[in-house]
A and B are shown apart, each in its own frame.
Chain A
Amino acid sequence: MTKQVEKVDRVIIRFAGDSGDGMQLTGDRFTSETAAFGNDLSTLPDFPAEIRAPAGTLPGVSAFQLHFADHDILTPGDAPDVLVAMNPAALKANLKDVPRGGTVIVNTDEFTPRALTKVGYAADPLEDGSLDAYKVHKVALTTQTVKVLEGFDISRKDAERAKNMYSLGLLSWLYHRPTEATVEFLQKKFAKKPEIAAANVAAFRAGWNYGETTEDFVVSYEIAPAPMPKGTYRNIHGNLALAYGLIAASHSSGLPMFLGAYPITPASDILHELSKHKNHGVRTFQAEDEIAGIGAALGASFGGALGVTTTSGPGIALKGETIGLAVSLELPLVICDIQRGGPSTGLPTKTEQSDLFLAMFGRNGEAPVPIVAPRSPADCFDAALEAARIAVTYRTPVFLLSDGYLANGSEPWRIPDVADLPVIAPNFAAGPNKVLEDGSEAFWPFLRDPETLARPWAVPGTPGLEHRIGGIEKQDGTGNISYDPANHDLMVRTRAAKVAGIDVADVEVDTGPDSQAGSGAPKVLVLGWGSTYGPIQAACRRVRREGNQVAHAHLRHLNPFPANLGRILKEYDRVLVPEMNLGQLSMLVRAQYLVDAVGYNQVRGLPFKAAELAGVITDLIGSAEDRHSDGHSDGHSDGHSGATDTVEGVGV
C-alpha cells in the first residue's frame, strides 16, 4: 500500500495518559528523535504532584506536549494538533484543548464502562458521536502490544506497560522520526533486563509497522529540519542547563562548587545532576532542611567555594534569614529559586512567576539582592553563569529565578565553545590592605573596592588576614561591631548602592524584522521577564503578521534593572507587562519609573498561550491608536492607572 506523504511546517502533539503510563518518557523520546532530526522544538511536561494518583482518574492524568517545526519556534504551542489519549481520563482532561478538526488517537482497550464511569462519561465518547468534529483513530494499543509480545518471556503486566513504546512507534512513523536512538536508548535503559529491553524494542517497531500497514492511517507527515545557526546542538532541559551553567561558572572562576540543598519540586533535578559530577570538584550536600542547605553553602563560600543553594518558593521562605546574613557578610552565594505555584505548598509541579517580590523584598531590614532570570530552558545556562559572575565579582548573594516551565521544558541548545565563556575572577585578598596611623599594616575586611564597592574576600588559610565577620552591623572599613547611627546609615546605603551599581547589560528592544516599514514605529512595548519570553515573542510575531507594530523587551536583570530601561519605557505610549503572577514586575516598574504599565496576569500553572497574548497586544495597540487620534499621549488619560490595573477580559 502506498501512503500519501504530506509536508507540514509545524506540529503540536500531546501525549496524555495515566501517571503510570510512561507519558513523560514517551514524550522525552519523541523529543530526542525530533531533536536528532533537526527540527526546532519546545516542550511542556504537565504532570500531577502525586507519584501515582489513583489510576484512571482526572487528577492522575500526566501529559507531555511537544511543538516542533521547520522554522524557529518559541513555545510548546497553544493547542495540540494531535492528542494521544491512553485512557478516558486523558481524553476528558485534554480534549477541550484540541481544536475542531484535530487528530485524536485513543487506546480503545481502556474505554471500558467502568473506566468511563470513573471520569463521568455517561456514554462512550468513541461511540456517541461527540468526537465527530475530530479525526479519531481508534487503536487497541494494549491488546495489540500484548499480542506482539506473546513470544517474550515477560509478565502480562510488563507486556502491557510496553504500550507506550507501541504508541511512540506509531507516532514516529506518522512523523518520519529517526528511530535508531530510541532503540539504543531502550537497550541501555533495560541493560540489566535484556528480555524487557527486547520486548520494548519489539513494541516500538510494531507500532511503527502498524502505521505503515494499517488502513486507518493513510497520510504521514514530513516536517523539514529547521534552518539554525551553524554549530553543534543538543536538546536540553532548563534544570540541566542550569546545572551545567553552575559547573561552567566553577570552571571559569576556578572556585570549587559547593551545593547545599534540600529536596523540593521542581528543583531536585539540579541536586541530582550536580551530584553526578564529582570529578568536576562539585560537592553536593543534601541537608537536613532548607535552612541548613543555604547555611552550609554560605559556610563553604566563607571558605572560598562557589556556594550554591537550589530550591523553590517554600524553600526561599525558610532561607530568608540566611540570605540576609549573606547580604550582611557580603559573601558570594547563588540562590536558585525554581518557582512553582504558591502560596504555601501551592502547585508543586506547575509553573508560576510569583516569587519576584519574595526575591526582591523577602528579608528583614534593607537587604538588597541582585536578581537574574533565564528566559528559556537553554538560557538557564547563561543565566546561571551571569548569576555567578555577579555573586563573585560583587561579593553578594544573587537570586537566579527560574520556574517550573523552564525547569522541565526543553529545546535545542547550541553548545557553546568553552573558550568563549565569560571569565569570573575571584580576586581573593592576599595581603594587608590598610596602613594604620602608626605605620603598621592591617587587613580591613570591609574596605571596599571604590569602583564596584565589593569588599575583599579573604579565605581561611590565608596568613595574616584573620578576621571576624558577622550579622551584627559592622563599622565601615574595619568590620568591627558598630552600633553607631551614622555608620549604620552609611552601611545600609552602601550595600544598596553596591547592588544598584552592578554592571548589567542594557536591555534590547525587539521591534521585529522591519519595524520602520508600514505603519510607523510601534507604540506598544511588551515588557517581560523569565519564561514568558517564548509566548511573548510568539505573540508579537502574530501581531506583526497581522500588519501591526509592537516592541518587546525582555529583562534578564530584575535587580538592578538595566540602565536604559527607564528611557525605553518612556518611548512608548503603552507598556504591557504579561506575568504569571498578579502584577509584580508591573508594580516595580510603575514604582521606579512612574510609567503607567498595564498588567496582563494569569496564574493557571501553565505558560501563556501565544494566541491569547496576541489578542491582548492587538487590543492595546488599538487603544493606543485611539488615544493618539484623541490627542492624548500622557499615559494617564484612560483610566488605566493604579498598580493593580490589568487588562480586562482575561479568559481564565
Chain B
Amino acid sequence: MPELLKLTTKDFKTDQEVRWCPGCGDYAILAAVQGFMPSLGIKREDIVFVSGIGCSSRFPYYMNTYGMHSIHGRAPAIATGLAASRPDLSVWVVTGDGDALSIGGNHLIHALRRNVNLKILLFNNRIYGLTKGQYSPTSEQGKITKSTPYGSLDAPFNPVSLALGAEATFVARTIDSDRKHLTSVLQAAAEHEGTALIEIYQNCNIFNDGAFEHLKDNSVRDRHLIRLEHGQPITFGSEDEQYGIVRMPDATLKAVPLKEAGDSVLVHDAHASEPDLAFALSRLPDPATLSPTPIGVFRSVRRPTYDTLMAEQLDDAARRLGSGKLAELLTGSDTWTIS
C-alpha cells in the first residue's frame, strides 16, 4: 500500500436515511460492514457495492462507495462484467435468499464456478420481506405464509451445499447479530482471491421473526452452533454436554458425545482440495430445525480468478500480436484496389 489510508467507519456512511424496519437484522450487518471496511486499506473510490432487489439490496445506498442497486437476481451478472473489466476494483454483491437463490439462481452458480473476484453477501432470512411475507427458496417445507396458507411444498435450498456444488472456492456462513464472527468472516472473504459466498443468517422481525433464535440466544445456542475453525477439532455443545463430529461408516457425519468420540473427532480442513468434508458439514443441520448448524469458513481454496485469466489473455495477445492496429484489422488480407 503506497500510503496509509486513514478511513473510519464514518467515511463509509452516506447521508441517506436508512429505511429498513426497526429491529431488522440488516442494521447489524450494515454496521459490521461499515466498521470493517476501513481495515481493508482500500480507497473508497475503488470499492463498488452491487445489489439486486429485496430488502437487503438497498444496502448500496448506505455505503459511501460506488454502488448500483440493480434488478431482481441479476447483481452477480452485472458485478461479473464490472469485475472482469475492472480487476483493480473491490466488488461486493449484496443479495438475499429470494434474489440470489430464486430469480437469480443461475447467475449465482455461474459466478461461483467462474471464480470472478466478487464477494457475495447473501442475507438469508428464509422469507420474502419486501413483497410482504411469501415463503422463499430457503423456507422450511410446510411453511405457512401468505402465499402458502396450506403450507409450502418445496424442499428448501441449503445455500452452502449449493455453493459447494457450484465449484465455489470460498464458502462461509455467519450470523447478523454476532458482530465479531461476522467481521472475521468478512475479513477472510476479503482476503480470498476469487468469488466468496457468505451466507448471513439475518432476522426478519416482521415476517419471520426468530428464525435463527436458537443460534443466537446465549442460553441455548451452544447446543446448536458449531464454530468451524480451520485446523481445529469440530466440536460444540454446552460446558456439561460436549459433542464432537465424527464420520460414520456410511461416510455421513454425526454429532456424538465427546467422551465417546475420543480421537475420531474430525479436524476441520477448509483448504482441502476436494469439498467433500465441507459438503458433509453443510448437510449436518436438520433442514427443519437448523441444528446443529456449522458457522465459519467451510471452504477456502485457491484457483485462478476469472478476471485475472481474462486480463492475461488480453496481455498475451498484445504481446504476441502487438497492440491492435485498427487500419490493419479493417484491411485484412484479401483486398483489391480501384485507382
Contacts and interface: CB of A to CB of B under 8 A. Distances in A.
B77 interface: yes
Contacts of B153: none
Contacts of B81: 258, 260, 285, 295-301, 303, 307
A151 interface: no
A463 B45 CA distance: 5
A165 interface: no
Interface in A416-466: 416-418, 460-466
B120 interface: no
Contacts of A230: 338-339
B330 A244 contact: yes
B106 A280 contact: no
Nearest to B73: A291
Query: Which among B89, B313, B335 has the greatest number of chain A C-beta atoms within 10 A?
Result: B335
Contact of A289 (B46, B48, B70, B106): B106
Contacts of B321: 279
Contacts of B22: none
Nearest to B43: A463
B80 A296 contact: yes
A38 B85 CA distance: 42
Given A231-B337, A467-B66, A468-B14, A300 B45 contact: no
B150 interface: no
Contact of B107 (A38, A281, A295, A464): A295
Interface string A289-320: 10110011111111111010000000000000
A469 B67 contact: yes
Query: Which among B77, B316, B321 has the greatest number of chain A C-beta atoms within 10 A?
Result: B77
A35 B322 CA distance: 30
Nearest to B67: A468
Interface in B54-83: 60-61, 63-71, 74, 77-83
A322 interface: yes
B155 interface: no
A470 B77 contact: no
Contact of B324 (A277, A287, A322, A460): A277
B302 interface: no
Contacts of A87: none
Interface residue tally on A, bucketed by range: 35 or more
Interface in B307-336: 310, 313-314, 316-318, 320-324, 326-327, 329-332, 334-336
Interface string B221-250: 000000000000000000000000000000
Nearest to A234: B335
B331 to A, nearest CB: 6
A291 B334 CA distance: 37
B334 A305 contact: no
A145 to B, nearest CB: 26
Contact of B61 (A234, A461, A462, A468): A468
Contacts of B322: 279
Interface in B257-289: none
A181 interface: yes
A296 B310 CA distance: 14
B180 interface: no
B100 to A, nearest CB: 14
Contacts of B66: 460, 466-468
A303 B83 CA distance: 8
Contacts of B330: 244, 248, 415-416, 418
Nearest to A258: B85
Contact of B68 (A292, A300, A470): A470
Given A230-B339, A283-B84, A466 B334 contact: no
Query: Which among B77, B81, B110, B339 has the greatest number of chain A C-beta atoms within 10 A?
Result: B81
A19 interface: no
Interface of A: 32, 35-36, 38, 181, 228-235, 244, 247-248, 251, 256, 258, 260, 277-281, 283, 285, 287-289, 291-292, 295-305, 307, 321-322, 324-325, 329, 415-418, 460-472, 480-481
Given A298-B78, A300-B84, A471-B70, 14 more contacts: A35-B334, A278-B313, A279-B318, A285-B81, A295-B70, A305-B86, A325-B70, A460-B45, A460-B47, A460-B82, A463-B45, A469-B67, A471-B69, A471-B71
Interface of B: 14, 16, 43-48, 50, 60-61, 63-71, 74, 77-86, 88-89, 106-107, 110, 310, 313-314, 316-318, 320-324, 326-327, 329-332, 334-339
5 contacts: A181-B334, A228-B338, A232-B336, A460-B82, A472-B69
